[in-house]
A and B are shown apart, each in its own frame.
Chain A
Amino acid sequence: MSHHGRRLFSGAPISGSGQGPVGQEIVEVEGPTGGGDLSPGKEVTVKGEITDPTFGEKYNPGMPLDLKWIESVRANKSGLEMRAAQLGGRRTVKKDYQAAWLLRAISCIDLTTLSGDDTEGNVRRLCAKAANPVRQDILSALNVPSSFGLTTGAVCVYPARVKDAVSALSGTGIPVASVATGFPSGQIKLEHKLAEIEQCVEDGAREIDIVLSRDKCLRGDWEGVYEEVKLFKQACGPSVSMKTILATGELGTYSTVTRASLVCMMAGADFIKTSTGKESVNATLPVSLAMMRAIRDYYDASGKEYRVGYKPAGGISTAKDSLLYLALVKDELGDTWLNKEMFRFGASSLLGDCERQLHHNAFGEYAADYYMPSA
């Protein structure tokens, strides 16, 4: 794989390979950070060690803006919504499989707090939860040893709270993600956006969630979007993963969402993300489908080299929903996307529901939320 091919993220040993649904190489990685093993029966050793998820290189180098492609985008609403509507009937996981999938979901959560009243105190509490996302007795009952090292994928905060989070997570290996570029509206000047990114990186954020300029998207100024996102990427630097928030709820149509997704990837986004959580409509399955298809098309167009991650955010609050998203990722993108390097949930309350569901998996009883340590 070339240097700018998919991040095999640092420290993850490759223990085997196979052929995934999209024909890509399947990489087996150990522990919660790992990818999938497609061949049933093949045992994977789980060391459970937390490997450093810092991205050591620039993963998606982007490509020149292809306006012809952007213009030719067709995303049919009824087709997308039909597929999304049927997914729950076609895919479900039960019992131990469900427990495993929920653990996977948790490992992919960007545990988030993005509120005006965030303080160092509640950020520290959140970080503690990120490092200990599931009650130990539940994990034990599920035969998941503490050495498994389950954590959430990252903690996501406002720029002003990055230092608090970095300090709180010190030694856990959990990266801090910061929103930036005038989140959530993006209605600030470019130089301020760039300065904000630089400050976040300097404060220790290893992932930056930028917001798109919706005005440019809605006016079809794709060159403008492209140039701006490229500058953001530059500002992030080579060792920071950049997620681009499309704010899909404000883009109006699936076609615009698909176009925005492609432009972001061409400009070098490492992840494309649906929402800030502040729009009236946030992540949905059909919009996720449209974005995943864009990721797949981009991957194809790169000669099956550049894999861009996906992050649905906002509105995903139930364990059941999270399983549907994972199934959609698995079926549309393949198992290589089914890990925290390639997939994240932007969520705050999802973890609690997953934990309660795991409690049910472990003990056969439904739990009240106050039995779970809060974030």
Chain B
Amino acid sequence: MLSLRSVSSSLSFPLRLLPRRSLSTPPITTLFSRMSYGPAPEDDTAARQWLQSHEGTFGAFIDGQWIKEGPTVPNTSPSTGETLSKTHQSPRSLLDLAISSSSKAFETWSTLSPHARSRHLYSIARNLQKHSRLLSVIESLDNGKPIREVRDSDVPLAVRHFYYHAGWAQILNEEMRDYKPLGVISQIIPWNFPLLMLAWKIAPALATGNCVILKPAPSTRLSAFLFADILKESGLPDGVVNIVSGDNDIAGKMVEDGRVDKVAFTGSTEVGKMLQRKVAGRNVKLSLELGGKSPVIVYDSADLDGAVEGLVNGIFYNQGQVCCAGSRLLVQENIYDKFIEKVKRRMATLRVGGSLEKNIDMAAVIDEAQRSRIEEFVEIGRGEGADVYQPTECPEEGCYYPPTLITNVHSTSRLVQEEIFGPVLVAQSFRTPNEAIKLANNSRYGLSAGVWTEQLGLALETALSVKAGVLWVNGHNNFDAAAGFGGYKESGFGREGGKEGLYEYMKLKWKPRGQKAVTDEIVARSDSWGKGSAAPLPSAPVGGGGESGDLLPAVDRTPKMYIGGAQKRPDGNYVLPVMSSDGKTLLGQVGAGNRKDVRDAVQAANKAAPGWGKRAAYNRSQILFYIAENLSVRRKEFAQRLDDMTGCGAEEASKEVEESISRLFTYASYADKYGGSVQETAFYGVTTSVNEPVGVIGMVCDSHDRPLLSFISMIAPAIVRGNAVVVAPSEKFPLVAMDLYQVLDTSDLPGGVLNIVTGESSVIAKTLAEHQHVDGVWYFGDVEGCYNVQKRAANNMKRTFVCSEERDWMSKEEGEGEEFLREASEVKNIWMPMGESMSGAGAAY
């Protein structure tokens, strides 16, 4: 080489040493003919040095100290199988230490000024940014994902979350005036986005004044350890963030510990349900980001090539190991063949390679277990006769699975129903928008969805009709700290990001801190809870006999159930007595609702819910005002009834009726003032959060002394926000609610929007909590009821709103407001890119 060069140019150019050329690389002229991509690996020297600085061993990070106790397990690189380092699995004693540390730190951290906390978060953001390349390489090595994704997506988003929440910390007292931090938070994060999930969890928790114990996933801990080093550098006070490195046993303890105020979890639905059961009744707040089987709907009006790229970002991003992966392709039948052809063609150009390679589209899956799981699913497909398309070659060493398209597969297949968590796309066709929406919603999950069309009307209608927390129009996997992320249905509850995410880490100031004791007895008799007691026998006549001086019996007006806008006789044909406050007089009787009455009511509610939810807010508001108006007309009668039942006295009874009318006014007002907002994301387009109805909400009112007001306070926010409700009124004082259905009938409330089932609270609560066609359940009662409702609600991951404290319904602070509106809503974030005109050469690419 040298000689060749020097011969041709020795006169004009001085001799220099030539850079080393790899002997194994073919001659450049050959490469010129081939025009193939060569290797382009990211340098991992700095990452190796960091691992070495810890002597290749990690443990727990507690109170600002590294504690290396417990047996060690290796950290391996999925891309090569190489052992990168090892980690001591924290024994239980260390978890105790961590929780104590967080509890102690909370005392000072929560009382810091907002500005001080903001400064700390800002410092973390800055330092993360400074070490972004090191973080990227560590994450890529440890998780096996492409360096490009970590560098361009995971790390910048993690940084963004800290900046964003540094902002919330600064203005927290103004923006969250009525709220306070929860306390100590247990956070359990998954392996698919180790650093990003850490950021999603820690940033909002710290910004709102909480302290955390974080447990990274056993297979991906290194970025959390590096984060710990960065926290030291950032000057965060010790104990505000503690990191433990355990397995599922430690995770269980993190949830069970009596000092924990909240559990935040991202992971599988199966584990999510287990956690929902574990925290049931204990006044431990819970947020869950779980699985998904998110649809991507491609209409014939779409830019088909654009939609293909959407799939590349949707299902092949992070090897498909994304909870919101666009794994279910739904294509309009008239373009199905053409579109599938385009997908296949694009898939043939995807490249799979080592995680540090810079010219690949996909790298390694997390481990052999996951790889086999993916393979098993695909084999099921093959067994069912589906067509499997896998054009890509994978490296021979390491843990890889190629991009996969499965066609000729139907809704009945497990491949269509279940989350595969790998780069496997299943394709189905549809004929009409309605069918697309129906297929999209034909899932137990509801995390995200993609919609591809150039027709704005179709895009918006679809986005609002698919039940999912995140909707991408003409895109997929857009994220930003300023927009909440989280699911409907079995994809979990709670949101991360946006203002909506702050509520997950705060509670109203009047609410007490601390867990409720779910005793062993409560747990032991859980199976028999809600079975109901024996029906009462005939007794004295209602009202103690006939009307005064009259020998004739009173005209009986035993109320029936109010279901689907009509009065329905109780299925069991049993009645329950309603006694006066002194217990001496039988005021009346109500139907003893059983499982079938609840079933009928839920059916009616489900029938009414879609139409009611789509009504104009103005219309819903008018109906609520109308109910208030009609109640006002009969205020004396209602006051009398209240006094008869509760013995509160005429004045208090009258006040309760007046407050009920006021409360109806409050929520009628909120009908058109709580619709959502525009989120200020770093996205060229509009990201809008829409507060959608939860769907069908089952409710059980408390049996304290405000039976009308508590009833109104619960049903009004729910129905005004578009939900259909099945409600059990106060078990002790049900008559006033039953009087109300005559008011409802005269107020144009559509049948089925509000269904009233009387009877034993526990019987109704149990049935509601277990019913899969109920989306949320509100229970106001004792700890045992809260426990049983929350535990049973886990079967389909209902949102639960329970309260075992006696509320002062007469106070606005406790009895009405945002808390109820939030519980009545499900936040959907819709991402709509904008633009038709071409960007100039200076555009961001």
Contact = CB atoms under 8 A, between A and B. Distances in A.
Given A96-B31, A331-B349, A363-B18, A77 B836 contact: yes
B31 A293 contact: no
B840 interface: yes
Interface in A35-80: 36-38, 40, 42-44, 46, 48, 74-80
A182 interface: no
Contact of A148 (B22, B29, B454): B29
Looking at B151, B351, B840, the one whose CB has the most chain A CB atoms below 10 A away is: B840
Contact of B37 (A48, A75, A91): A91
A36 B35 contact: yes
B36 A97 contact: yes
B309 interface: yes
Contacts of B351: 90
A77 B834 CA distance: 8
Interface in A91-117: 91-101, 103-104
B32 interface: yes
A281 B841 contact: yes
Contact of B843 (A76, A81, A88): A81
Contacts of A3: none
B358 A89 contact: yes
A87 B454 CA distance: 24
Contacts of B19: 361-364
A135 B19 CA distance: 18
Contacts of A95: 21-22, 25, 38
Contacts of B834: 78
Contact of A81 (B307, B345, B839): B839
B839 A96 contact: no
B18 A364 contact: yes
A82 B35 contact: no
A142 interface: yes
A255 interface: yes
A28 B833 contact: no
Interface string B826-845: 00000001111111110111
Contacts of B359: 90-93
Contacts of A76: 302-303, 306, 454, 474
Contact of A94 (B16, B39, B304, B838): B39
Contact of A36 (B34, B306, B360, B841): B34
Contacts of B839: 77, 81, 284, 286
A257 interface: yes
Given A37-B33, A137-B9, A93 B1 contact: no
A338 interface: yes
A270 interface: no
A193 B31 CA distance: 42
A46 B25 contact: no
A22 B301 contact: no
Give the size range of B's interface with the partner. 35 or more
A196 interface: no
A23 B838 CA distance: 30
A79 B839 CA distance: 13
A284 B29 contact: no
A17 B9 CA distance: 39
A81 B845 contact: yes
B93 interface: no
B766 interface: no
B40 A93 contact: yes
A36 B684 CA distance: 38
Interface string A327-342: 1001110010010000
Given A97-B31, A100-B32, A137-B9, A284 B38 contact: no
Nearest to B19: A364
B157 to A, nearest CB: 15
B533 interface: no
Looking at B18, B38, B304, B307, the one whose CB has the most chain A CB atoms below 10 A away is: B38
A140 B8 contact: yes
Given A85-B845, A96-B22, A253 B837 contact: yes
A284 B843 contact: yes
A239 interface: no
B233 interface: no
Q: Which secondary structure characterizes the binding site on chain B?
A: loop
Q: Which secondary structure characterizes the binding site on chain A?
A: helix
B270 interface: no
B9 A46 contact: no
B684 A97 contact: no
B302 A74 contact: yes
A78 B152 contact: no
Contact of B31 (A32, A84, A100, A136): A100
Interface string A282-297: 1111110000010000
B4 interface: yes
A98 B31 CA distance: 9
A83 interface: yes
Contacts of B446: none
Nearest to A15: B33
A48 B27 CA distance: 14
Interface in A217-235: none
A90 B32 contact: no
Interface in B524-557: none
A34 interface: yes
Given A21-B349, A77-B838, A362-B18, A93 B306 contact: no
Given A284-B843, A362-B18, A37 B7 contact: no
A80 B306 contact: yes
A37 B29 CA distance: 12
Given A77-B833, A79-B474, A81-B843, A94 B40 contact: yes
Interface in A185-199: none
27 contacts: A28-B33, A32-B32, A38-B34, A43-B26, A44-B34, A74-B302, A75-B303, A77-B837, A78-B834, A79-B305, A79-B310, A81-B839, A85-B844, A94-B38, A96-B21, A97-B38, A135-B9, A137-B13, A141-B4, A143-B28, A144-B29, A251-B838, A254-B836, A286-B838, A362-B5, A362-B18, A363-B16
Interface of A: 21-23, 28, 30, 32, 34, 36-38, 40, 42-44, 46, 48, 74-101, 103-104, 135-137, 140-145, 148, 248-249, 251-255, 257, 280-287, 293, 315, 326-327, 330-332, 335, 338, 361-365
Interface of B: 1, 4-5, 7-9, 12-13, 16-19, 21-22, 25-40, 148, 151-152, 301-307, 309-310, 313, 345, 348-349, 351, 358-361, 454, 474-475, 684-685, 833-841, 843-845
Given A93-B37, A255-B836, 8 more contacts: A23-B345, A32-B32, A90-B361, A137-B9, A141-B18, A145-B29, A284-B841, A365-B16
